[in-house]
Copies of this chain bind each other. A is one copy, B any other.
Amino acid sequence: MADTAAASAAPARPLRADARRNYDRILAAAEAEVARSGASASLEEIARQAGVGSATLHRHFPTRQALLEEVFHDRVEALCAQARELATSDDPGEALVTWLRAVAVYGATTRGLAASLRMGPAHPPSGTGCGAMLLDAGGELLRRAQDAGAVRRETSMIDLLTLVNAVSLVTEGDADAADEAVRLVSLAIDGVRPLPVPGGPA
């Protein structure tokens, strides 16, 4: 999207050409390596594959978290776009559920993503981070679902995303991660109790 974050965050001064090139190389290498080894991929290996010194990697991305946020920026952005689109649905309840499932599947099948999305009281979604983006995008969906009476009022987006992310985290790496994630999220959304069937319990 648009521009790599270094620029979007601080439009102060453009990166020098070589710095920009290295930045992009590191990001590409990180993407590949994280896909292979998950969120705990070796930073040195990433630097090696990018053909830069480890110091350069650390200069561009002071923390592992910063690197991961950037690596997943596009995917998260895509999820946000999907949320905006679903927000126009005429079945807000179903729209929310569809989106949550999509988030779960993305998280479960994209190694490392879930770990970089830790959120909650103790992990305040850092203003511009991936967590905050999803929180914003989903908030609208949740509001609509609640207005439509499809979701309880006391439910918060942060709890929903935390739950979905927890599922992603746990299923990540499994052979059929997507299936599992969808099943667990559906379980959580529907609850464990039997639905009172229209005709009344048998």
Q: List residues of A whose CB falls within 8 A of some B CB.
A: 93, 118, 120-123, 149-152, 155, 159-160, 162-163, 165-167, 169-171, 173-176, 180, 183-184, 187-194, 196, 201
A141, chain B: closest CB distance, angstroms: 12
Residues in B with CB closer than 8 Å to A121 are 174-176, 180
The answer to whether residues A193 and B118 also contact, given A166-B169, A166-B184, A184-B159 and a CB cut-off of 8 A, is no
Contacts of A175 in B (CB 8 A): 121-122
A189, B192: Cβ atoms under 8 Å? yes
A61 → chain B closest CB, angstroms: 21
Q: Is the CB of A184 within 8 A of B170?
A: no
Q: Which residues of B contact A122 (CB under 8 A)?
A: 173-175
- CA gap between A162 and B169 in the complex, in Å: 11
Shortest C-beta distance, A1 to chain B (Å), equals 28
